[in-house]
Structure 1
Amino acid sequence: MERRLVLELASTIRHDGSGGVADDLATAEGATQWLRACADLLAADLTDGPEVVDDALRGEIVGVRRAVRALFARAVAPGPPSSADSARLMPFDEALDRLNAAASRAAVVPRLEWPAAGAPAVRTVPAQDDPAARLVAALARDAIGFLAGPQRELLRACAAPRCVRYFVKGHGRQEWCGTSCGNRARAARHYRRHRGEPDGPAPS
């Protein structure tokens, strides 16, 4: 499955490998590392974006993530949302407002380009020079494009024990985000059956 910026953002809340939940954006340093890891997913206009995330920008990115995860929970309903934040999700209307406000942080304008040896073309460029605002807007706009597009209906919360990721289904019976989660879920089902306990929910 092709990587997508909004899914990478949502997945900064993840299982830590020892039964807990890790937050890759818990510090400005962590947010900087995440931003660099996702550089290939950012639009060409953001190649000159911020190289280092400070605390203020980290707060804005986390705000977009909170809105995204709340809207992801709405998108997967009536299926269960991720267990990582199901008890403290941002209210739906607030999440919508937060995402739309973030998307409007950086206005864009058309720019005519006409090379000497080619035809004229229009390119969309930022209206102002604010790398942080452009980054926040790019994250929000990718989320909006995803939630308004066909992949939204394929979005699921991983059903494996302890996993807190969202993923896009690649085939009809997929219920886990990856192979390791599938193996862990099958092992847990085998253990429950061995003990005579009921299975978990049936595959979707």
Structure 2
Amino acid sequence: MRTVLPPAPGAERYPALDFVNSTIALPGGQFIDFLGTPEGVNEWLTEHGLAPADAGVQEMCAAQLRSLREHLRSLFAARVAGLTALPAALAAVNDALSRVPTAALLYWDEKSGPYRATPCPTNEILDRALAALAANAADLLTGPDAESLITCDSPPCIRYLLRHGRRHWCSTRCGDRVRAARAYARRKVV
């Protein structure tokens, strides 16, 4: 099911871009939500190196991830449209960013001596995933690639991408749909 569309341009550098695109609008009013079930969330997190395969994500955790996704979509939409971000979206991202310690702790092993590591007990997996995705989105929104952030120009697609060149769509499928619509419109006018 994940092969519906390839990742949008830029998703290889920004997992948060792939995260906001984890719901896909298809022609005919159909939607695919890769985070629609706890199993789907666990699979998505595992594929992106944010959780082990056996994390056992529950619905409450899945709902938190879907909520963050919608807040990030709101921030991306505001950035693309040049509008002010919703305070609730900013608060949600900042909450996710502040859930986990940013510094590795100091530990001591009797054989090898001191070392630093960031502990991640099972109950912190979700918090770490939320923080990683929020930080990645914040990097995208505040970095040099923010100027390239656009929405796919092929209705009904709702995905975001980083524009490169003249391309304004997220996949070959969407580009083909745009070109076909243009060709149909030209034939209809003649």
Same-fold status (TM-score > 0.5): yes
TM-score interval, normalised by the smaller of the two chains: 0.7 to 0.9
Q: 2:175 aligns with which of 182, 186, 192?
A: 182
The DSSP-based 3-state class of the residue aligned with 2:103 is strand
Q: 2:76 aligns to what?
A: 72
Q: 2:4 aligns to what?
A: none
Q: 1:32 aligns with which of 38, 42, 61?
A: 42
Asked if structure 2 preserves the Cα contact closer than 8 Å seen for 1:14 and 1:21, the reply is: yes
Q: Give the Cα–Cα distance (whole angstroms) in 1 for the partners of residues 147 and 22 of structure 2.
A: 22
Q: Relative contact order: is structure 1 or structure 2 higher (C-alpha 8 Å, sep ≥ 6)?
A: 2
Asked if structure 2 preserves the Cα contact closer than 8 Å seen for 1:163 and 1:181, the reply is: yes
TM-score in terms of structure 1 length: 0.73
Q: Give the Cα–Cα distance (whole angstroms) in 2 for the partners of residues 122 and 64 of structure 1.
A: 33
Larger CA deviation: 188-197 vs 153-162: 188-197
> Deviation digits for residues 70-102 of structure 1, max 9, x if unmatched?
0000111159xxxxxxxxxxx711100111011
Q: How does 1:30-179 map to 2 (within 5 A)?
A: 30-39=40-49, 42=50, 51-77=55-81, 92-111=86-105, 125-126=118-119, 130-171=124-165, 173-179=166-172
Shift of the alpha carbon at 1:16?
3.7
Q: Give the Cα–Cα distance (whole angstroms) in 2 for the partners of residues 193 and 78 of structure 1.
A: 32
| Structure with the higher helix share, 1 or 2 | 2
Q: Give the Cα–Cα distance (whole angstroms) in 1 for the partners of residues 137 and 157 of structure 2.
A: 22
Shift of the alpha carbon at 1:6?
0.2
Tell me the C-alpha RMSD between the 2 structures: 3.0
Please list every run of 5 or more consecutive structure 1 residues that lacks an aligned counterpart in the other structure: 80-90, 115-120, 198-204
Please list every run of 5 or more consecutive structure 2 residues that lacks an aligned counterpart in the other structure: 1-8, 109-113
